[in-house]
Amino acid sequence: MTINRSWLDGVWHGWGHTSFTWSIKLTVDSRTNSYIVDYIGLNGKSRLERLQESDQEIYFREHLIEGEDFSDQDLFVISKIDNNRLEFIAFDDKNTSNSNDNTIGTGIMIKQINN
């Protein structure tokens, strides 16, 4: 079965939540396997390595590119809400189980529309 992940291609903007709120941008080109997360305002950036996927959900390992006071190797899960919205959840890198106890960030992003 071929999985179509082109729905994720493009630039996404949104807000993440932990004990505070922060802006986030995701830039994706699935043809070149490029998935970059920019934590705007927090001065951090990560590359996402695709681990497993279905048509509506993709699991990634996060690799820190820039920034201090960021954890590395976290599990980053993206779920499609619809063609223009997605949800993300980041889990602590020390335990990859998907339990709320390990959640370090969640949020929603909206796809940037280019005219």
Render each residue's pLDDT in the chain as its tens digit; 115 residues: 456 778 899 999 999 998 889 999 999 998 899 999 999 878 899 999 999 988 889 999 999 999 877 777 889 999 999 999 999 999 986 655 555 578 889 999 999 987 5
pTM, to two decimals: 0.86
Residue 56 belongs to a domain: yes
The rounded distance, in Å, linking the Cα atoms of 37 and 113 is 18
Residue 3 belongs to a domain: no
Q: Residues 6 or more apart from 2 whose CB is under 8 A from it?
A: none
Residue 88 belongs to a domain: yes
Q: How many domains is the chain built from?
A: 1
User: Residue 25 is part of a domain; what is its CATH number?
Assistant: 2.40.128.20
- pLDDT of the residue at 115: 57
Burial class (CB in 10 A: 0-12, 13-18, 19+), 33: exposed
- pLDDT of the residue at 19: 86
Domain enclosing residue 103, as ranges: 8-111
